[in-house]
Chain A
């Protein structure tokens, strides 16, 4: 079963429900009245369509069906978490009585078994949510496996685990079309490149959060991948690439802006920080405008959040030390209101554009 086809079917069902509801409202207001013949023709068409979708994809065609589905999802999430907790605690209880070979076999088998479970759920045409849940559990099990294996075998930690986790997440994400795993995989691979560079420089690989400039090339590459593979990937995945690229890059800039950096040796530390904050503000604004152009709400929200954080950090650097605190927060509040007015104006323009 194609995951995208199921998603599109659910979206179509939702659109049909909205259309029927709006049509009923128009009829009630006397704006539009279909003839009985048209009405029955329309009903027959939609009933056939919805019934076909329900049989083929198991989509929810009513509100109550949707609510029950959500209830089932929440119950399965809680149940799954409880079952995994039970299994982990049970393993803790017997772990010391198991020979090393059995320990390694259990650790290796756990992610593989969960992956097989995801595939079985997929083959049985289960809801995408359950497939995603099992795939996510497989990813978590793989993370736990390498941690526990390192502990049991007394291995020194290595940056290559990030590569393993990232590749696993990416492969499973592409197999089932899962955005969360794709995002996790991309961030892990971005972190891997930074850790590897740091390791080649002779530093401890896990210290890459102290050298966040090493994350920026990877983040830029992630943001540019949808341009490089124009038209090849799905819209959802392109968004994940951009969101991960923007999120990682802006976070790296934010950390640099608070700690100074080595790449601008000629500048005073304060000047270095201010430079990064202003670059961060500009990049955040660019992400907002790019998000607006792509009609991607998530990208716009990410850019706006980053813009506000960078602005706050800069204002804090300028004013916090010498200004009375009440005045500082007053100015922050007024700045937020000013930003609100700017965004309102942008929104109005966008709405006008949409209406024209």
Chain B
């Protein structure tokens, strides 16, 4: 009996690993989410551990925020959009139970349309300190609907993300009450928000990390040192297809 149990436990390990590989194969069968070249502004070199040779890039993105603040809810995630995404916004905001209703709602997984070097960046990016040119511009439960709306795969990628709902009955700064409570929509994250860089590309980026870097915070990167071709596949999960080292003058390719 013990041997049977152990064999089953080993089977669980093998099935889990096999499942992961099947998902990778399925994901990479078609770049449904889009294929795009991003630079160091959008993909920051992440430091895992001091001695680690693994190379991981963190996706940096922006969204147009309500009130044009640096940190805040997404301007386009209004109650109508939140309802479309599946949140139950039916409880009147003035009801005593509204607060507990809305604050106990977990995040919802959605698909996000991310625009690269598009109108959102041109309109808002020029006035911002943040340098990333990747902007979240829309969200939906159905990725195909998003793709139909944003068919340009060179400038729009579709990826997975998390959206959460906020119930605001006090202002963040001074704690005063607004005239009426309101609902806010926040993009909590895109996921996976880190991209592992395999061989041989990992070596190239490791060299750059060794020669000095701004670290994972690329908000201050003015001249990107590398560009990475990333694909989002059939499962809307990313993988690296290629790395280019950009010359320090910003022209040419090494």
A154 CB-CB contact with B under 8 Å? yes
Query: Which residues on A sit within 8 Å (CB–CB) of B15?
Result: 164
B194 CB-CB contact with A under 8 Å? yes
* Bound form: Cα–Cα A108–B21 in Å: 12
Q: Of all chain A residues, which has the CB nearest B160?
A: A156
Please determine whether A269 and B196 come into contact, CB atoms closer than 8 angstroms: no
Please determine whether B14 and A151 come into contact, CB atoms closer than 8 angstroms: no
Stretch at the interface among A92-100, A304-312, A342-350: A92-100
| Contact bitstring B20-46, A, C-beta under 8 A = 1, else 0 | 110110000000000000000000000
A265 CB-CB contact with B under 8 Å? yes
The secondary structure that dominates the B interface is mixed
Please determine whether B52 and A142 come into contact, CB atoms closer than 8 angstroms: no
Q: Of all chain B residues, which has the CB nearest A88?
A: B49
Q: Of all chain A residues, which has the CB nearest B2?
A: A175
* Bound form: Cα–Cα A155–B101 in Å: 32
CB distance from B101 to the nearest CB of A (A): 6
Query: Which residues on A sit within 8 Å (CB–CB) of B203?
Result: 96-97
Which residues of A97-111 are within 8 A (CB) of B? Answer: 97-100, 104, 107-108, 111
CB distance from B110 to the nearest CB of A (A): 10
* Bound form: Cα–Cα A160–B17 in Å: 12
Contact check: which of B13, B51, B54, B238 meets A145 at CB < 8 Å? B13
A126 CB-CB contact with B under 8 Å? no
The secondary structure that dominates the A interface is helix
Per the CB 8 Å criterion, the residue count for chain B at the interface is 56
CB distance from A153 to the nearest CB of B (A): 5
Stretch at the interface among B92-100, B132-140, B175-183: B92-100
Stretch at the interface among A16-24, A65-73, A256-264, A321-329: A256-264
CB distance from B16 to the nearest CB of A (A): 5
Identify 29 residue pairs between A and B in the complex whose beta-carbon atoms are under 8 Å apart, listed by A's number.
Answer: A89-B51, A92-B51, A96-B53, A97-B199, A98-B199, A99-B198, A99-B199, A100-B198, A104-B17, A104-B20, A112-B10, A145-B13, A146-B16, A153-B20, A153-B23, A156-B192, A171-B6, A171-B8, A171-B9, A171-B12, A175-B6, A198-B106, A203-B106, A208-B106, A210-B104, A259-B104, A260-B97, A260-B100, A262-B104
